[in-house]
A and B are shown apart, each in its own frame.
Chain A
Amino acid sequence: MADEKFDAIVVGGGPAGLSAAYVMAKAGMQVIVVERGEYCGAKNVFGGIFFTNVMRELIPDFLKDAPIERNITKRRFAFLSSDGEFGGDFKFDRFNKDFANNSFTVLRAKFDKWFSEKVEAAGAMIITGAVVDDFILKDGKIAGVKARMDDGELYGDVVVLADGVNSLLAKKLGFHKELSPDSTIVGVKEILSLPEEKIRDRFGLNGNEGVAYEYFGYAAKGAIGSGFVYTNKDTISVGVGATIKSLLEHKLNPNDVLEHFKNHPAIRPLVRDSEQKEYSAHLIPDGGFKKFSKLYGDNVMVAGDAAGFVNATLFHEGTNLAMETGKLAGETAVEAFKKKDYSSESLSLYHTRLKNSFSLRDMKQFKNSSETLDKNPQLFDKYPDMIGDLIAELFTVDGEAKWPKERRLAMKLLTSENPFRLLKTAIDMRRVII
Chain B
Amino acid sequence: MKHFTSMEDKLGLDKFTAFEKSHLKIKPGSDPLVVERKLFICPAKVYELNDKGEPIVSFENCLECGTCRVAAPDEVDWMYPQGGYGVTFKFG
Chain A residues in the interface with B (C-beta under 8 A): 36-38, 41-46, 107-110, 112, 128-131, 133, 147-149, 165-166, 168, 178-181, 184, 186, 188, 190-191, 235, 244, 247-248, 251-255, 259, 262, 268, 271-274, 276-283
Provide the residues of chain A in CB contact with B10, threshold 8 Å: 190, 255, 276, 279
Pairwise interchain contact B14-A248, C-beta atoms closer than 8 A: no
10 A-B pairs closest in CB distance:
A129-B84, A108-B92, A281-B43, A109-B92, A131-B83, A281-B65, A281-B63, A279-B10, A166-B66, A130-B83
How many whole Å from B11's CB to the nearest CB in chain A? 7
Chain B residues in the interface with A (C-beta under 8 A): 1, 3-5, 7, 10-11, 13-14, 38, 40-45, 63-67, 69-71, 73, 78-84, 86-92
Pairwise interchain contact A276-B13, C-beta atoms closer than 8 A: yes
Provide the residues of chain A in CB contact with B4, threshold 8 Å: 276
- Complex CA distance for A45 and B63, rounded to whole angstroms: 10
Indicate whether A278 sits within 8 Å of B80 (C-beta atoms), given known contacts A244-B67, A247-B41, A271-B1. Answer: no
Provide the residues of chain B in CB contact with A112, threshold 8 Å: 92
- Complex CA distance for A120 and B39, rounded to whole angstroms: 40
- Complex CA distance for A243 and B17, rounded to whole angstroms: 29
Apart from the given pairs A181-B70, A282-B65, A283-B70, 20 other A-B contacts in the complex at a CB distance below 8 Å: A41-B92, A42-B88, A42-B89, A43-B89, A45-B92, A130-B84, A131-B83, A149-B83, A181-B71, A186-B43, A235-B91, A244-B41, A262-B3, A268-B1, A272-B1, A274-B1, A276-B10, A279-B13, A279-B63, A283-B66
Provide the residues of chain A in CB contact with B73, threshold 8 Å: 178
- The chain A residue sitting closest to B44, CB to CB, is A281
Provide the residues of chain B in CB contact with A268, threshold 8 Å: 1
Provide the residues of chain A in CB contact with B82, threshold 8 Å: 131, 148
Pairwise interchain contact A36-B83, C-beta atoms closer than 8 A: yes
- Complex CA distance for A278 and B16, rounded to whole angstroms: 12
| Number of A-B contacts defined by CB within 8 Å | 142
Interface centre among B1, B11, B43 (most CB of A within 10 A): B43
Pairwise interchain contact A254-B13, C-beta atoms closer than 8 A: no
Indicate whether A188 sits within 8 Å of B43 (C-beta atoms), given known contacts A181-B71, A280-B14. Answer: yes
Provide the residues of chain A in CB contact with B1, threshold 8 Å: 262, 268, 271-274
Pairwise interchain contact B91-A166, C-beta atoms closer than 8 A: no
Indicate whether A133 sits within 8 Å of B79 (C-beta atoms), given known contacts A244-B70, A271-B1, A281-B67. Answer: yes
Pairwise interchain contact A129-B83, C-beta atoms closer than 8 A: yes
Pairwise interchain contact B11-A279, C-beta atoms closer than 8 A: yes
Pairwise interchain contact A184-B70, C-beta atoms closer than 8 A: yes
Pairwise interchain contact A191-B67, C-beta atoms closer than 8 A: no
Provide the residues of chain B in CB contact with A272, threshold 8 Å: 1
Main secondary structure of the interface of B (DSSP, over half): loop
Set B38, B78, B80, B92: member contacting A36, Cβ < 8 A: B80
- The chain A residue sitting closest to B65, CB to CB, is A281
19 example contacts (A-B, Cβ-Cβ < 8 A) are as follows A42-B92, A46-B92, A109-B90, A109-B91, A130-B83, A165-B66, A166-B69, A168-B79, A180-B70, A191-B91, A244-B67, A253-B40, A254-B41, A255-B7, A274-B1, A276-B10, A277-B90, A278-B92, A280-B87
- The chain B residue sitting closest to A247, CB to CB, is B41
How many whole Å from B36's CB to the nearest CB in chain A? 10
Provide the residues of chain A in CB contact with B63, threshold 8 Å: 279-282
- Complex CA distance for A188 and B90, rounded to whole angstroms: 15
- Complex CA distance for A47 and B44, rounded to whole angstroms: 18
Pairwise interchain contact A255-B43, C-beta atoms closer than 8 A: yes
Pairwise interchain contact A278-B90, C-beta atoms closer than 8 A: yes
- Complex CA distance for A215 and B45, rounded to whole angstroms: 25
Pairwise interchain contact A248-B38, C-beta atoms closer than 8 A: yes
- The chain B residue sitting closest to A255, CB to CB, is B43
Pairwise interchain contact B79-A280, C-beta atoms closer than 8 A: no
Indicate whether A43 sits within 8 Å of B64 (C-beta atoms), given known contacts A36-B80, A128-B84, A129-B83. Answer: yes
Provide the residues of chain B in CB contact with A255, threshold 8 Å: 7, 10, 43, 45
Pairwise interchain contact A248-B89, C-beta atoms closer than 8 A: no
Pairwise interchain contact B71-A44, C-beta atoms closer than 8 A: no
- The chain B residue sitting closest to A166, CB to CB, is B66
How many whole Å from A224's CB to the nearest CB in chain B? 14
- Complex CA distance for A272 and B13, rounded to whole angstroms: 18
- The chain A residue sitting closest to B62, CB to CB, is A281
- Complex CA distance for A308 and B72, rounded to whole angstroms: 20
Pairwise interchain contact B45-A179, C-beta atoms closer than 8 A: no
